[in-house]
Structure 1
Amino acid sequence: MSLLGSRVIPALLAVAGSAAVLVAAGPEPIDHAVNARIRAEARDRSQIMQTLHVLTDVYGPRLTGSPNHKAAAEWTIAEMKRWGFDAGRLEEWDFGHPGWLNERLTAHVIAPVKDALVAEALAWTNGTNGPVKAQVAHLVLPERPTQATLTAFLADKAAAVANRIVMVGAVTQVPVNFSPAPLRRDYDDLAAMFDPVNPRAPQFPGGPAAGPGRGPQAPDPSRLTPRQVAEQVDAFLVANKALVRINDGGRDHGQIRAFNNPSFDGAKTVPTIILRNEDFGRLARLIAAGRTVELEVDVVNRWYPEGRTSYNAIAEITGTDKAQEVVMLGGHLDSWHAATGATDNAVGVAVMMEAARILKAIGVKPRRTIRVALWGGEEQGLLGSKAYVAKHFGTAESPLPEYATFAGYLNVDSGTGRVRGATVFGPDEAARILREIFAPFEDLGFVGATATRSRRTGGTDSTSFNAAGLPGIGLMQDPIEYGSYTWHTNLDTYERVVEADVKKSAAMIASALYHLAMRDEMLPRFTKAEMPEPPPAPGATPAPTASPAATRP
């Protein structure tokens, strides 16, 4: 028995009532001989780094709707077919926006000094149609303004922004971090989090759950939201013929997170770039000191109308006597555009492809069909996985035929760190099974598994399955530099991947995939009576507790 098992089982036996149910289920059968072969294949013949190289160096970045994303999806299918997988295909879904790529961006300060600047383009904005040289204006907006305050502020600024390059917003003060986040998760913290008797809620990046005096401020209806302010400022700059908008990256050590124009309409914004905080601050100080600052900016962006149709990449290993039942695994293939999307999420894709490849390479014959799914549109709101779940499975309230034969979905989407635990949507028995399946890999860092009842989407694609009432399995990983440096930033490149960690993750997931595909029964789910209600749609009033009707998301 592993150390994990020796810690878990006595704790379970100590709890009256629940222990009888868990013991009656019996220990999960583990094929240790297959696990040994999985470890050897993962260690000695891994394809992860080669897959990562192609997805990042050849096809990165992979913004949804872009030709890079489609080409990467086509390559993954071809590669999995080469490995012997079946039924490789692209499945279309409606993105509803044109594709977009930045092809060139240069920015230089040319007065009162000469220097290169570090910047990224805001996605779904137009380019400059050639180099633009102009004086810089700095528009420091009022904080959390009312409509009247913002209107008054902008009223006399038209002349100041016309034919200028405009820096928008105050400089973000980024203090030195004297307490950097740990690269590894603490074992004792994880053991408490995944305690099967009394699990502690996970503490996600950003701090503990909100309580009295903590968490985000309640919205003030008299104040404009940040998005409303941004939209009105964009419209003001367009109307008054500003040449370029510059936003502050607002992070340390040259990090830039470049997201998108929320309207996806280039006519509603001027060309927009995000400058690293260090450069934005320097220019702001020069202007504040009374010096005239001039820049030269050249941005080339290209739009792709065909990007309105996007894709999920699908491939399978066909099962045997239970081939009609499906165990899925995957991660999102799309990325943001500031870098090549290595830790978010090319490495997750590479790990999941590798986990399935390992099973094919060692020649096992899974009873259930194993299906790899590599999603598009995750960064814009889990769009690809939501479309897939709606098309193939429906929901607990309105199931489609495939709903009954779905046996679980494993998801990786938290960077390069090794897998440390799992959370499954379903009853406690589902978590027990996963806990025992993963237990032989405690030596690689796995700690435990827990169950969730939440059907809210958000964060990653496993929650698209949870929302439908299906067993989505999210895998928790060591953070390494994910939240601090690589997540959505211009530093998210191949070099930031820890090869030893991703090989360990692939071995653990391959074993879990194999054992889920070989069980006599599918992973347990909530019964109809136990199924949690879906959350209300945004802005909707929740249904009363006694009402049999539920407001669907």
Structure 2
Amino acid sequence: MIRIALLCCGLVAAGIAQAPPAVVKKVIRGGGAQNTRVMEHLDQLVNGIGPRLTSSDNLTKACEWAREKFKSFGIKNARLEEWGTFPVGFNRGPWTGRMIKPEKLALEFGTPSWSPGTKGPQRGPVRIAPGDAAELRRNADQFKGAWVIAPRTMTGGLSGRRIRRQDREKLFREVGVLGVLRGTRALIITSGNKNIDWDGLPKIPTINLTGDHFKKIKSLAEDGRDVELEFDIHNNFKKGPIKLYNVIAEIKGSDKPDELVIVGGHIDSWDGATGTTDNGTGVATTLEAARLLMKAGARPKRTIRFMLWSGEEQGLLGSRAYIRQHPEENDRISAVLVHDGGTNYVSGIAATDAMYEPMQRVLKPLFDLDETMKFSVRKVRSLPYPIGSDHDSYIAVGVPGFFWNQKGRAVYRRTHHTQHDTFKAAIPEYQVHTAKVVAIASLAIANLPDKLNRTGMRRANRFSRRRIFGVRYDDKMVVTRVTEGSVAEKAGIKIKDKILRVGKTKVKDRFTLAEALKDGKVKKIVVRRGNREVTLTARFD
């Protein structure tokens, strides 16, 4: 109670009328530990609905559920807006695997999205495939009905040329293998290739085992032991076109209803777990911020729009499509605030010189909202970009997009796209705090006298669209995502590559990477792939 009173007195003393003290007080109380519903939202999304791969039935259910949530808060204009379609849908069911011989062992593994499962339980021996296609064909009887450990690359014919992925699939089907076994590290990263069509669906399952299980199986097979495995994987394709949606809900502005502050995150996820920290947590805080503002009776001067985009994991598809469909809105948007950094609490926001003073002033109530979770406005030369979330889509067209700074005890790389991205990874007190921060900040920015000044928000020599590198990585510079069609993908960078050097520059963090790439020239990039270093060429033209 004392904390609330001090915060509201501080607002009045500072002469800040942008976020009415009475509304801020109600938001703080309404989002307190006894009243919050942010974890309830998260539970319903990730446990009640589950993972939400773009093109899955679960994603459609989640979008419909979110729309109804917004409506239940009193937002009557909540709606779904179609942004595109996928030719093939994909729904992942349960999956199990076990070693039967020479010992009993439950296996930990995953399969790529948009990849086939098994036709019921499939049991067979383990065989190590040769790297030459001709040799595999000559010994087809040994591999028919087997789970195959295949080399990452295979060659074929007299030329010795590498066989393309689709030709490897055809070869394995011709031989009659049950599936292909691959090893990962302790973390199983889920990804997948959406570029499939109904008449050319993949047929051979790919099993990504944890490193220790893969090494054990391979070692036993190399020693000549009789290794037998059984997998039962329920992966199901659905004939399209599959309609895809963004979720939109608005609190209309009282003075400037045509001008916007957008608050949101992406509602889709990968489907190797339940998509909790990427990005159920951002969906939950967006919903809770909307609930808190409606319950507090907020009447923002500008419209606050809540947006939950889909298709983010495949390259920001939903947000980019929305911008293409509504280019007339761009000049009317003051700010886009995106929560997509996991469950750690929101600890600050970046602001350019032109934005810093008004942001520092109106966000002051957040500085002392919780003594254990400090908030600050960080002055930057230009807005951080590209990071790999939906605010990038807006910055690319000149709209101020913000990716919240976050701090806390959660280790994001442990859950990001991995088998550990489940409800228990979310930290309730952080979620509660972040929802209040998002609500108060969006109202404060919506009530500024003017839209945020865009001067200097994007440095052309570093951030022109053609120079977007197109990777997402953890704090050790290990790649966790490669954007389709990006410079990085064309250069041959793959998930799990560790970026070591750009030219002669040693890459220590995202800042040294950005600095090394900023001139947009052709670059030699050295990555560690497995146990070897690989040199790639990145071209930005």
TM-score, normalised to structure 1, is: 0.73
Is 2:29 the partner of 1:40?
Answer: yes
Query: Deviation string for 1:244-269 (max 9, x for gaps)?
Result: 12222322xxx322221454356345
- Deviations, residues 211-263 of structure 1 (Å, cap 9, x unaligned): xxxxxxxxxxxx999xx865554343234322112222322xxx322221454
Structure 1 position 270 matched with structure 2 position 171: no
Aligned to 1:162: 144
Partner SS for 1:308: strand
The equivalent residue for 1:477 is: 406
Distance 2:17 2:380 in 1: 17
1:280 aligned partner? 214
| Offset at residue 71 of structure 1 (A) | 0.6
Does the CA contact (< 8 Å) of 2:110 and 2:209 recur in 1? yes
Distance 1:456-1:516 versus aligned 2 partners, 3 A rule = closer
Cα offset for 1:28?
A: 9.2
Identity %: 31
Shift of 1:494: 1.1
Q: 1:356 to 1:461 in 2, by over 3 A?
A: same
Whether 2:96 is the aligned partner of 1:106: answer: yes
Equivalents in 1 of 2:227, 2:36: separation in Å?
52
Q: Deviations over 1:117-147 (max 9, x none)?
A: 1222221112222221111123486xxxxxx
1:517–1:359 Cα change, 3 Å: same
Question: How far 1:38 sits from its partner (Å)?
Answer: 2.1
SS in 1 for 2:430: helix
Match of 1:429 among 347, 350, 354: 354
Amino acid at match of 2:110: E
Cα distance in 2 for partners of 1:262, 1:153 equals 31
**Residues 314 and 528 (structure 1 numbering): CA distance in 2 closer, same or farther, change over 3 Å?**
closer
CA distance in 1, matches of 2:340, 2:457: 30
Aligned to 2:42: 52
Given candidates 356, 374, 394, the residue that maps to 1:465 is: 394
Match of 1:439 in 2: 364
Match of 1:517 among 442, 446, 452: 446
- Unmatched tracts of structure 2, length 5 or more: 4-14, 153-159, 468-485, 491-516, 521-539
Match of 1:346 in 2: 280
Residues 1:494 and 2:423 aligned together: yes
Partners in 2 of 1:392 and 1:89 — Cα distance?
16
Shift of 1:434: 2.6
**Displacement after TM superposition at 1:114 (Å):** 2.3
Asked if the contact 1:28/1:436 (under 8 Å) is kept, the reply is no
Partner Cα distance (1:229, 1:529) in 2: 40
Structure 2 CA distance for partners of 1:30 and 1:153, relative to 1, 3 Å: farther
Deviation at 1:454, TM superposition (A): 6.5
- Mapped partners of 2:196, 2:383: distance in 1: 31
Q: Deviations over 1:302-323 (max 9, x none)?
A: 2222463211111111111211
Pairwise CA RMSD: 3.4
The 1:54/1:326 distance shift into structure 2, 3 A limit, reads same
Q: Quick one: distance in 2 between partners of 1:73 and 1:374?
A: 8
Give secondary structure in 2 for the equivalent of 1:340.
coil
Structure 1 residues 345 and 300, CA, compared in 2 at 3 Å: closer, same or farther? same
In the other structure, the counterpart of 2:340 is 413
Question: What is the identity, as a one-letter code, of the residue corresponding to 2:429?
Answer: A
What displacement does 1:385 show? 0.9
Bigger strand fraction = 2
Q: Structure 1 regions of 5+ residues with no counterpart?
A: 3-25, 142-149, 171-222, 394-400, 546-551
Amino acid at match of 1:488: H
Pairing 1:240–2:222 present: no
Q: What secondary structure does 2:31 align onto?
A: helix
Distance 2:294 2:374 in 1: 25
1:233/1:431 Cα in 2 relative to 1: closer, same or farther (>3 Å)?
A: farther
Do structure 1's residue 67 and structure 2's residue 57 form an aligned pair? yes
Give the alignment of 1:73-222 within 5 angstroms. Answer: 73-139=63-129, 160-169=142-151
Alpha-carbon distance in structure 1 between the residues aligned to 2:285 and 2:40: 11
Code of the aligned partner of 2:228:
E
Contact 1:137-1:167 at 8 Å conserved across structures: yes
What is the CA deviation profile of residues 305-359 of structure 1, one whole-angstrom value per residue up to 9, with x for unaligned ones? 2463211111111111211111111001011111111111111111011112211
Determine if the alignment matches structure 1 residue 291 to structure 2 residue 225: yes
Cα distance in 2, alignment partners of residues 431 and 236 from structure 1: 59
Amino acid at match of 2:144: A
d(CA) in 2 for partners of 1:310 and 1:281? 40
Deviation at residue 45 of structure 1 after TM alignment: 1.7
Normalising to structure 2: TM-score of the pair?
0.75
What are the within-5 Å matches in structure 2 for residues 303-452 of structure 1?
303-306=237-240, 308-393=242-327, 401-423=328-350, 427-442=352-367, 443=371, 444-451=373-380
Structure with greater contact order relative to length (CA < 8 Å, sep ≥ 6)? 1
1:260 counterpart residue number = 192
CA contact (8 A) 1:258 1:274 kept: no
Question: Quick one: which amino acid aligns to residue 360 of structure 2?
Answer: R
Does the 8 Å CA contact 1:347/1:415 hold for their aligned counterparts? yes
What amino acid is the match of 2:256? K
Query: Take 1:58 and 1:71, find their aligned partners in 2: how far apart are those partners?
Result: 10
Separation (CA, whole Å) in 2 of partners of 1:529 and 1:535 = 11
Count of residues in correspondence between the two structures: 449
| Alignment partner, residue 464 of structure 2 | 534
Paired residue secondary structure (2:466): coil
Pick closer, same or farther for the CA change 1:239–1:423 going to 2, 3 Å: farther
In structure 1, the partner of 2:9 is none
| Secondary structure at the counterpart of residue 87 of structure 2 | coil
